């Protein structure tokens, strides 16, 4: 699974990155997590509000930090596909 956190470096972007990394580790999910900070790369996903979460090239959240339960549900759903 390929997970990207889109954000230029704001507090919420860092919060989302920490939450996603912690969830991947605690749930034993086989994933590569990376951070995308370049505004042109972020815009290429059609995202105008950060932070955003991209799982396997699909934007699943934008403009907010989801709860841990939401992150788990999104990653488990993507893992099942």
Cα dihedral across residues 74, 9, 25, 3: positive or negative: positive
| Beta-carbon-side half-sphere exposure of residue 69 (alpha carbons within 13 Å) | 0
Catalytic residue, chosen from 3, 5, 6, 13, is: 13
The verdict on whether 13 is a catalytic residue reads: yes
Catalytic residue, chosen from 8, 9, 10, 77, is: 10
3-state SS record for 39-77: HHHHHHCCCCCCCEEEECCEEEEECCCCCHHHHHHHHHH
Q: Give the residue numbers annotated as catalytic, written as ranges.
A: 10, 13
């Amino acid at each position: 699974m390929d997970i990207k956190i889109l954000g230029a470096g704001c507090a919420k972007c860092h919060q989302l990155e920490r939450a996603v990394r912690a969830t991947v580790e605690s749930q034993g999910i086989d994933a590569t997590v990376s951070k995308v900070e370049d505004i042109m790369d972020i815009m290429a996903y059609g995202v105008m509000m950060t932070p955003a979460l991209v799982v396997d090239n699909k934007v699943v959240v934008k403009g907010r930090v989801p709860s841990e339960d939401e992150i788990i549900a999104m990653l488990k759903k993507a893992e099942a596909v």
